[in-house]
Amino acid sequence: MRVLAVSGSLRPESHNSRLLRAAQELAPAGVEWDTFDALHTIPLFHGEREDMDAPEAVVHWRDRIDAADVVLFATPEYNGSISGVLKNALDWASTPFPDNVLRGKPVLVTGASTGAYGAMWAQSDLRRILGITGGRVLDGELALARAHEAFDEDGRLHSASQSERLSQLLAALVAELPAAA
């Protein structure tokens, strides 16, 4: 099974990118991990019409989603919502509607922030956006609060309960494959 991991932050050492690396370490055996780290290459969405060719970076983004069995998102929270770069990428992925690469794809949303709520608002917005685009949004969340204190020097989560919760979510994501096939 192939998991596409997408951080909504452009910073390679962002808390959400670190959360995805921790998830990769905790992923069940047999999972092929693909981290998409090229959100910065996707041009601004302009309401693409079906008869227009999509830019190369958009084709690459869509192909990576299409090749994945499931998609795991880790979203930061900017001004109470998801990052503009992630929203832009999802706007591109949502076209052509309704037959886009997210249609029916199992997706899981997590998030991390330095605040006390762990990007809960952003996660809620991302779930809504993914549902509207046609993704099959899984129940369950990991809202990693005070993310600047959550990781050790090796990038692992300090909290055993957070690691266990992330493992449970990954197992639930993997379990979605038979239903999606």
Q: Please list the pLDDT of the chain residue by residue as tens digits (181 residues).
A: 999 999 999 998 999 999 999 999 999 998 999 999 999 999 999 876 666 789 999 999 999 999 999 999 999 999 999 999 999 999 999 998 889 999 999 999 999 999 999 899 999 999 999 999 999 999 998 999 999 999 999 999 999 999 999 999 999 988 887 644 4
pTM: 0.93
Which pair of structure tokens corresponds to residue 130? 């993914």
Q: What residue ranges do the domains of the chain occupy?
A: 2-180
Looking at residue 178, what is its pLDDT?
60
Q: Is 146 helix (H, G, I), strand (E, B) or coil?
A: coil
CATH superfamily for 2-180 is Flavodoxin domain (3.40.50.360)
Q: Which of 73, 70, 19 is nearest to 175 (CA)?
A: 70
Rounded distance between C-alpha atoms, residue 84 and residue 43, angstroms: 12
Q: How many CB atoms lie within 10 A of CB 181?
A: 7
Show Cβ contacts of residue 162 under 8 Å, excluding neighbours closer than 6 positions. 142, 144, 150
Helices (H) and strands (E) in the chain, counts: 6, 6
Phi, psi of 136 (to 5 degrees): -95, 95
The one-letter amino acid code at 101 reads V
Rounded distance between C-alpha atoms, residue 26 and residue 38, angstroms: 23
Looking at residue 69, what is its pLDDT?
96
Quickly tell me which residue has 């055993």 as its tokens.
Answer: 160
Looking at residue 181, what is its pLDDT?
45
